[in-house]
Structure 1
């Protein structure tokens, strides 16, 4: 604004000075070039100067207007107007969301330089190329997206997700770790890393990641509790495998130390109790497992614990039977209680009672476990045809569950 004002003042002063000079006399202007000379009055020279200026100004406007018109016509006829490009980009996004990868990629790539924020279009076009099996093109599009300002995080996440989709977990982690160092506590990065570690069953890495996830509030409180429970169970299972190399007498203290390291809330969690009890039973600590499972079930009914209770081989088998029978009074329609009773009766060589409990359990819920237990019992009782039929039935159930 100030520059325009100064120019206007300068023009007025110059015009005033010129008019003053012209008013004072009829002076003339002589221009000599080689043997050529041009002579004219100052009035004619001033008029010629004004005409030249106006001609130059008009020619400049015509050229600029023509160039703009050519550009607009070129956009309209070759690429479409900006409005049309935005509409085409929007329909490309719809094609992407509905899985029409070919149309999505074509529309999105043609309108990349027409939309105000093209990063989403780059990412959608890259994913479309990947879904079509053209990974090289997807990488090329993402490389172009990297030239945009502040696009490193979304591009890196997209690359990592494409690797995860192709089950190339190590490549995905190699992309995410530098991003996590450069931009720590990014919820999207931590969330993707935790899903990768679960897929890899890399519980140690997931445990190390857990505090950062909690600080970044990656999951809800309910999801964090479920993840913490899963980690506790998997740690117990891993330790159960590791202690197999120890003497039997050394295994129980190792399992107990890990159990004591858990919080009170985890020790009350039925799934974590089941993992610990399973580990105890695996290492011949059925008696201690029985006490743990019985107390847990008296507080919180949990089907896997009921199932495990019937597999525990304790010395006081009659006490175990009485416990199961007391549960049966409260949970008479629980197939797991009946299965456990059948197992204990089978171990106690009360075959008729075992068959009755197995049959009642099968009537309530068809399961591979119960069918196989009944098949083994029929074999012990000499009914080989019935046993063979039950084995076949169990195999069929197992196939249906796959």
Structure 2
């Protein structure tokens, strides 16, 4: 407000001063060109010149502000095309979510060139083409996404890997994921896809190496990681034998199996299922001594009833030494039903029939169950003690056939 007042004041003073000068001496200007002349006062010429300059300045600004009509029309056309592209993109994404693949691919592809985010259009259109089984078209759309947005290589590569995995193109998918892993080593989506393709390829060794990274980035829930860890170690041990040629000798198979077992992390060795499977494979290949040594070392490191039970099932070359080893464990673990059961079985291998009966009875007294009852009754039957076997089975019928419902029974028949 103050600036406007000051401007008006200056203009008023300047106008008064110029008016006074015009009255005192209007001046005289003569302009001649060929035969034409123009006579005017000096002040009129100055005023016309000033007005002409202002008018020219306004026209120049007006021209550059609004430019030519063709530019205005082009801008209007571009804005309209962009609005149309946005509408088609929205409809295409809706069709994609509804599973209308042909419509989604058509709308998204058409709108891609005019879209502000062509990457979104091309990726979604590639997914729609894949769902229709149009492999070449899907690959073309992914390539278009790369060309329009080179900085989105990771995003495009992830979608491509998902499509390749879905098609069963495992080798190309693996190569693509390994490349992406170099670009984004901590990307959880890439690591999960890499895990999936390695499982499909049966490369459990690679899965085992990938597990620490999956844990580090929390790519999977803890229970799923634990299950995957168990499965990977188990399948890696099994495949160490299965992958060998049919003509491979058992000694070489045992060697390969032992190497795979040695590469297993110590924490995984506590898994009873894993130890049982490794032992079973050794026994199938005739590696009883190797199995006995492995179990003995594991039990020495950490007591485990299931491993002790398994130890009694192994027939090593020196059963007497095996029995002595089990007896040494009884000093610290006298209340282990599994250890008593193992001692009974090892006593049988050494033909100590009376001791075997004693151990089986102790195992049954500590923890009555079908396994130690079966061993005890089988031994007694071979020793000719049928009456005692009948008594044991009759008094422990629920162990032999557990889970029977409560039902009415007839009274015992009267003897004549």
TM range (shorter): 0.5 to 0.7
Query: Which of residues 28, 31, 46 in structure 1 aligns to 2:50?
Result: 46
**Contiguous gaps of at least 5 residues in structure 1:** 1-11, 349-359, 364-402
1:37/1:103 CA distance change after superposition, 3 Å = farther
Output one character per residue of 1:6-60: Cα deviation in whole Å (capped at 9) or x when no partner: xxxxxx9xxx9xx98x97965659696xx79785734333333333333444455
**Contiguous gaps of at least 5 residues in structure 2:** 1-9, 40-44, 316-344, 383-400, 405-416
Does 1:99 pair with 2:99? yes
Output one character per residue of 1:343-388: Cα deviation in whole Å (capped at 9) or x when no partner: x9xxx9xxxxxxxxxxx99x9xxxxxxxxxxxxxxxxxxxxxxxxx
Distance 1:272 1:36 in 2: 118
Pairing of 1:308-387 with structure 2 (within 5 A)? none
Q: Secondary structure at the match of 2:130?
A: helix
Task: Kindly indicate whether the alpha-carbon contact (under 8 Å) linking 1:29 and 1:45 is maintained by their aligned counterparts in 2.
Answer: no
Output one character per residue of 1:277-327: Cα deviation in whole Å (capped at 9) or x when no partner: 3312321346986996xx99x8579xxx99xx99x9x996998xx89x97x
Report how far residue 246 of structure 1 moved. 6.0
Report how far residue 205 of structure 1 moved. 3.0
Distance 1:61 1:43 in 2: 27
Output one character per residue of 1:194-224: Cα deviation in whole Å (capped at 9) or x when no partner: 2111101122333343444444443333333
Q: Secondary structure at the match of 2:151?
A: coil
Pairing of 1:233-272 with structure 2 (within 5 A)? 233-241=234-242, 242=244, 248=250, 252=254, 255-256=257-258, 258-272=260-274
Report how far residue 148 of structure 1 moved. 1.7
Pairing of 1:6-155 with structure 2 (within 5 A)? 26=27, 28=29, 41-61=45-65, 63=67, 67-68=71-72, 71-72=75-76, 75-76=79-80, 80=83, 85=86, 88-112=88-112, 116-146=116-146, 147-148=148-149, 150-155=151-156
Does 1:279 pair with 2:281? yes
Output one character per residue of 1:70-125: Cα deviation in whole Å (capped at 9) or x when no partner: 6436644x66457xx25x43332232122211121223234336655443332111
1:102/1:51 CA distance change after superposition, 3 Å = same
Distance 1:56 1:251 in 2: 92
Report how far residue 131 of structure 1 moved. 1.9
Task: Kindly indicate whether the alpha-carbon contact (under 8 Å) linking 2:204 and 2:233 is maintained by their aligned counterparts in 1.
Answer: no
Distance 1:210 1:259 in 2: 17
Give 2:334's aligned residue: none
Task: Kindly indicate whether the alpha-carbon contact (under 8 Å) linking 1:236 and 1:279 is maintained by their aligned counterparts in 2.
Answer: no
Distance 1:128 1:53 in 2: 57
Structure 1 window deviating more from structure 2 (98-107 vs 237-246): it is 237-246
Give 1:200's aligned residue: 201
1:227/1:149 CA distance change after superposition, 3 Å = same
CA-based RMSD? 5.4
Does 1:167 pair with 2:168? yes
Distance 2:179 2:66 in 1: 55
Task: Kindly indicate whether the alpha-carbon contact (under 8 Å) linking 2:82 and 2:114 is maintained by their aligned counterparts in 1.
Answer: no
Report how far residue 155 of structure 1 moved. 0.8
Task: Kindly indicate whether the alpha-carbon contact (under 8 Å) linking 2:82 and 2:115 is maintained by their aligned counterparts in 1.
Answer: no
Report how far residue 145 of structure 1 moved. 1.9
Report how far residue 167 of structure 1 moved. 0.9
Distance 1:29 1:149 in 2: 70
Task: Kindly indicate whether the alpha-carbon contact (under 8 Å) linking 2:154 and 2:183 is maintained by their aligned counterparts in 1.
Answer: no
